[in-house]
Amino acid sequence: QAFPLPSLPRRQPTVLVVCGPAQNGAIGLVCARHLRIFDYEPTIFYPKRSPDPLYRDFTTQCEKMDIPFLSYLPTEVQLINDAYNAVVDAVLGAEAEAGEGKEPCATILATLKHVRIPIVSLDVPSGWDVEAGSSGGISPDVLVSLSAPKQCARRFLGRQHFVAGRFLPYDMQKKFELNPPEYPGTECVVALRAPR
């Protein structure tokens, strides 16, 4: 929705999906597969693969769909800017605490901080503190909050903020006082008003 195919600047609808070692990365794998079904050309960078059988199956599904897996992420940022229309940041999610400091995430995030193409972060901009937000971390263009926005979303300054949480049962929404917005039609995401 944020980057429809006809709107992409490059001739090929390429998207780089950077996947971390845990659940956020696994969600990135699923995202990449659906991007492929939507006729984008995703490429995945997944340096530290989870041993979880479910996540290994997600990897197989992507491989069998001919989605290329990079063996390294260029540190030369211009190479990324030139090759892709956007980057999906599926490196670290709300569960990560000290993850930011560990490799390979630290180097990945250092590179992503300097890309000039739009970044779409899944749930939490990687490297941000889940409550306080970031100082000097990555600045995504688009944030997709999963289930409900996290505290740090208040500090999100990018163009579009989506919530993907239509699967939450009503009693859970009440219990956690989530007050979700209304989803249009049968859509599974809703765009929140852009931050001012």
Partner 1 sequence: SPGCRSPGVPSPLPRQEEAQAIDQELFTEYKFSVDQLMELAGLSCATAIAKAYPPSSFTTSQPAVLVVCGPGNNGGDGLVCARHLKMFGYQPTVYYPKRPSKPLFEGLTTQCQKMDIPFLSEFPAEAALIDELYGLVVDAIFGFSFKGAVREPFGSILSTLERITVPIASIDIPSGWDVEKGKADGLQPDMLISLTAPKKAAVHFAGRYHFLGGRFVPPALQEKYALNLPPYPETDCVLQLT
In the complex, least distance from residue 178 CB atom to partner 1, rounded to whole angstroms: 14
175 binding partner 1? (CB under 8 A): no
66 binding partner 1? (CB under 8 A): yes
72 binding partner 1? (CB under 8 A): no
**Interface stretch with partner 1, choices 9-17, 54-62, 133-141, 147-155 (CB under 8 A):** 54-62
Complex with partner 1: residue 80 or 142, whichever CB lies closer = 142
Complex with partner 1: residue 114 or 166, whichever CB lies closer = 166
Report how far apart, in Å, the C-alpha atoms of 109 and of each of 68, 87, 133 are: 21, 12, 15
In the complex, least distance from residue 59 CB atom to partner 1, rounded to whole angstroms: 9
**Interface stretch with partner 1, choices 13-21, 41-49, 137-145, 169-177 (CB under 8 A):** 169-177
Residues 6+ apart with CB under 8 A from 165: 145, 146, 147, 148, 178, 180
12 binding partner 1? (CB under 8 A): no
From 52, 57, 97, 131, residue interacting with partner 1 (rule: CB under 8 A): 57
Give the integer Cα–Cα distance in Å for 148 and 163. 6
From 38, 74, 78, 101, residue interacting with partner 1 (rule: CB under 8 A): 38
Please, which residues bridge with residue 15 across strands?
42, 86
Residues 6+ apart with CB under 8 A from 98: none
From 7, 51, 54, 98, residue interacting with partner 1 (rule: CB under 8 A): 54
Q: Which residues bind partner 1 (CB under 8 A)?
A: 1, 4, 36-38, 54, 56-57, 60-61, 64-66, 166-167, 169-171, 185-186
